[in-house]
């Protein structure tokens, strides 16, 4: 058969059909698998034969999801986990040891920041944070013990980009594992492996699920890296459940179509509000006002589904704006078919000092909009009325 496109494979890659001739993959909701005899059992445990033993190690639904994700990111293999954070942690803990050092972008999701600053140091793994928008400063932060460069692009919530070509070149120069959290872009909009990334990490909870139903995560990489991560996870147990894997694999069938609409809506919304009198600024990677617009055009196919807005009036205005919304959901998730608004300064980042917030790009009036799949005019109208009534 001719080589199929990723859009087709995201639909057609499927677990082998059973004797029941089902069309959709069934749910293999089983904790363990049976062996034909003692010899098969021995051979499977000895890794002499490939096959399922126990769903903490592998499961057909999970494997289907992993196979599709590896294909979509253009890397050899993948290991799926119960959450995105389990995937982030597995990428570190599966590959690094005490004494190793991680170079990391300063613009990271809060829990990734916490793992680097509070969890890994307890196990002797240290880090240095660098400015994601200043690649010329990265070399100077490399130590003899640096093993990994961990970045997130675009970042949550500031939408700061990391130059993936520069990151790939740095990793090559210093023999580092380049690990990219590709959650905001998804493999539809950006493939870090084409720039030299060795690991790509996802929270599948976001756009990959796309309807706010299940948690999940996945680390994708070369054979040896994924084998080491699998070994770590097989014993420590952050396995993705078969049901969640089934949902996520079905979700991948519509990922390309959904991402197009997320991008259409986000771009229309960002353009609509760009010169609004109630806003200090609107941030979206594909607006030419974005400070890294040229970079966004180079490494992303489209701008993604997240828009941030800086409201005039600081924290109080941000809170009043959220209270005035009628259609948009106030929720901690993103990448849902329903548009979601959050105010990081009074919620997710309220425990940081003002200076720490500003360093992470979180200004007092910053509102993050995860633009959903509704008619964009309805989303715009709700934001307009909430801006007016929070004045
Ligand atoms: C960029 C990024 N990485 C990782 C995560 C963690 O994912 P999960 O909530 O599935 O553990 C999130 C969650 O918001 C995220 O935005």
Ligand 1 centroid distance, CA of 22 (Å): 34
Atom of ligand 1 nearest to the CA of 184: 1
Atom of ligand 1 nearest to the CA of 152: 1
pLDDT of residue 359: 77
DSSP 193: G
Q: 282-316 b/e with 16+ CB inside 10 Å = b?
A: bbbbbbeebebbebbeebbebbbbbbbbbbebebe
Give domain limits for the chain: 6-252, 255-389
How far separated are the first and last CA of the chain, in Å rounded? 61
- The tens digit of pLDDT for each residue in 309-355 reads 999 998 899 999 999 999 999 999 999 999 999 998 888 888 778 88
Atom of ligand 1 nearest to the CA of 88: 4
Ligand 1 centroid distance, CA of 335 (Å): 11
Among residues of the chain, what percentage have pLDDT more than 90? Answer: 92
Residue 275, pLDDT above cutoff 90 = yes
Among residues of the chain, what percentage have pLDDT more than 70? Answer: 100
Ligand 1 centroid distance, CA of 218 (Å): 11
CATH 3.40.50.300 fits 6-252, yes or no: no
Residue 8, pLDDT above cutoff 90 = yes
Indicate the pLDDT class of residue 183, thresholds 50, 70 and 90: very high
Q: Is 150 helix (H, G, I), strand (E, B) or coil?
A: strand
- Work out the average pLDDT over 159-183: 98
Phi, psi of 83 (to 5 degrees): -145, 170
Closest C-alpha to ligand 1, atom 13: 203
Indicate the pLDDT class of residue 15, thresholds 50, 70 and 90: very high
Task: Work out the mean pLDDT of the chain and round it to a whole number.
Answer: 96
pLDDT of residue 73: 98
Domain pair 6-252 / 255-389, same fold: no
Atom of ligand 1 nearest to the CA of 334: 14
- Cα torsion angle, 372, 374, 375, 377, sign: negative
Q: Is 101 helix (H, G, I), strand (E, B) or coil?
A: strand
- For 222, other C-beta atoms within 10 Å of its C-beta total 14
The answer, yes or no, to whether any atom of ligand 1 lies below 6 A from the CB of 292, is no
- Work out the average pLDDT over 258-264: 98
CATH architecture of 255-389: Alpha-Beta Complex (3.90)
Closest C-alpha to ligand 1, atom 10: 84
Full strand arrangement of the beta sheet holding 329-330: 279-283, 306-311, 366-370, 340-342, 329-330
Which string of DSSP letters, residue by residue, matches 275-344?
A: T-TTEEEEE-TTSTTSTTHHHHHHH-SS--SEEEEEETTHHHHHHHHHHH-SSSEE-S--S-SS-EEE-G
């Amino acid at each position: 058969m001719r080589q199929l496109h990723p859009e087709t494979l995201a639909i057609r890659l499927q677990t082998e059909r059973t004797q029941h001739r089902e069309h959709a993959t069934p749910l293999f909701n089983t904790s363990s698998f049976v062996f034909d005899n003692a010899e098969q059992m021995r051979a499977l445990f000895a890794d002499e034969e490939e096959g399922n033993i126990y769903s903490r190690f592998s499961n057909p639904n999970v494997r289907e999801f992993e196979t599709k994700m590896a294909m979509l990111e253009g890397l050899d293999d993948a290991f799926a986990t119960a959450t995105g954070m389990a995937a982030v942690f597995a990428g570190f803990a599966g590959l690094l040891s005490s004494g190793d050092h991680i170079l990391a972008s300063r613009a990271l999701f809060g829990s990734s920041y916490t793992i680097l600053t509070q969890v890994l140091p307890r196990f002797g793994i240290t880090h240095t944070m660098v400015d994601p928008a200043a690649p010329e400063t990265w070399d100077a932060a490399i130590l003899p013990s640096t093993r990994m460069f961990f970045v997130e692009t675009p970042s949550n919530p500031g939408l700061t980009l990391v130059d993936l070509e520069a990151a790939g070149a740095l990793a090559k120069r210093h023999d580092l594992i380049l690990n990219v959290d590709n959650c905001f872009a998804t493999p539809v909009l950006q493939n870090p492996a084409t720039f030299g990334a060795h690991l790509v990490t996802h929270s599948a909870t976001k756009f990959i699920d796309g309807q706010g139903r299940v948690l999940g995560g996945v680390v994708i990489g070369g054979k040896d890296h994924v084998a080491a991560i699998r070994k770590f996870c097989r014993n420590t147990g952050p396995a993705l459940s078969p049901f969640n894997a089934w949902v996520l694999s079905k979700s991948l069938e519509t990922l390309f179509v959904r991402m197009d609409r997320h991008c259409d809506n986000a771009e229309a919304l960002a353009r609509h509000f760009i010169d609004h009198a109630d806003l200090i600024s609107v941030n979206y990677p594909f607006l030419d006002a974005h400070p890294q617009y040229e970079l966004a055009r180079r490494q992303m196919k489209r701008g993604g589904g997240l828009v941030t807005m800086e409201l005039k009036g600081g924290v109080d205005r941000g809170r009043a704006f959220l209270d005035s919304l009628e259609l948009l959901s106030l929720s901690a998730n993103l990448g849902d078919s329903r548009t979601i608004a959050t105010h990081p300064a009074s919620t997710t980042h309220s425990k940081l000092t003002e200076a720490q917030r500003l360093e992470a790009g979180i200004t007092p009036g910053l509102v993050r909009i995860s633009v959903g799949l509704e008619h964009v005019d309805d989303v715009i109208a709700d934001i307009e009325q909430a801006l007016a009534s929070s004045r």
